[in-house]
Amino acid sequence: MAERTFEEGVAGLERGSGGPPLDDGAPRGEAADAASHPSVAAMRERFGAGILHHAVMAGDEHVVYVGPAVVVEVLAWLKDDAAQRYDFLADLTAVDYGGGRPLEVVYQLWSIEHKRALRLKVPLPLDALVIDSVTSLWHAADWLEREVFDLFGIHFRGHPDLRRILMPENYAEGHPLRKDFPLRGRFSRAEQTRRALATPAEEFYTPEELRIGDDETVRPPSPVVIEHAAPPNRVDAPTTRVPGGPTQTEDWSLGTEGSAAGGAPGPSGVKE
């Protein structure tokens, strides 16, 4: 097999031209358009300019790009409309393509009734990483949105309990799945070890679990002081590890590679 460059390899990916032909008669690849997926055509008809863009990925994955302003409206319609009925939120995640490009929130939907899949993507510019929560539509989105917030720093408006889910509560190095996040983290290993062992055991339990054994006496959980400030004694400066990344330490929490401002300001009123 001849060697292909990276650009040649990914060239047909958006159009899906590389996939094998399937025999169900539906147009594939370059021939596929919005008309080949009934939901896409219906969405275009209903929302018009609210639908930014449509693409077919990897043969038959229909991806619809929606603006962040209408995402809850579109998803609610997709879930409840009788002809669509995308009642199963299979996945909710995000992608950082790097290079200053927008982060994309991905909603992977499945209609149990019509046996159809649809993928929604919402590009979010780096200086406005805020999107409405869809926990009102699917309770399954609760932890998925917490994960996206934890690892990408995208804030979900209206989420009932938006806090870190995978990283420790006192994690102050930023959001690890961003492209500008250094592989070994931003603090030195000694500092990471110190912070890890300084985590109080209470953080691993809910207040209900901590009350187990207290029989009748229900006492409020002891307040846990969480250290959020970035310590000054880091070994590796961020500028040496992140070429083109944010240079101000206070930009770590929301900084992203290539953004001109060196990081996005945190939206006001969001629980950090």
Partner 1 sequence: MGLSLPTVAHGEPSFLTSKLDFLVNWARMNSLWPMPFGTACCAIEMMATAASKYDQARFGMERMSFSPRQADVLICAGRVAYKMAPVLRKIWDQMPQPKWSISMGACASSGGVFDAYSMVQGIDTIIPVDIYVPGCPPRPEGLLYGLLLLQEKIRGESLANPALRAEDPARTGKPNLGPEVIEEVAGPFGNSTKQNRVSGLVSTTALTRPNDRKP
Cα–Cα distance, 89 to 123 (Å, whole number)? 19
Q: How far apart are CA 124 and CA 163, in angstroms?
A: 20
Least distance to partner 1 from the beta carbon of 10, Å?
A: 26
Largest CA distance in the chain: 74
Residue (85 or 234) nearer to partner 1, CB:
234
Q: Which is nearer to partner 1, 157 or 195 (CB)?
A: 195
The minimum distance between CB 202 and partner 1, in angstroms, equals 11
> Which tokens belong to 53?
């863009």
Shortest separation between residue 177's beta carbon and partner 1, angstroms: 10
Residue 261 C-beta: closest distance to partner 1, Å: 24
By beta-carbon proximity to partner 1, the closer residue of 93 and 188 is: 188
> Binding residues for partner 1, per CB under 8 A?
167-168, 173, 176, 181-185, 188-199, 201, 204, 235
Backbone angles phi, psi at 202, to 5 degrees: -60, -25
The nearer residue to partner 1, 52 or 190, going by C-beta atoms, is: 190
Residue whose CB is less far from partner 1, 36 or 192: 192
- Give me the half-sphere count of Cα atoms (radius 13 Å) on the Cβ side of residue 239: 2
- Strand-strand pairing, 88-95 and 61-66: unpaired
CA angle 33, 38, 41 (to 5 degrees): 60
Determine how β-strand 155-157 pairs with β-strand 130-132: parallel
CB of 180 to partner 1, least distance (A): 13
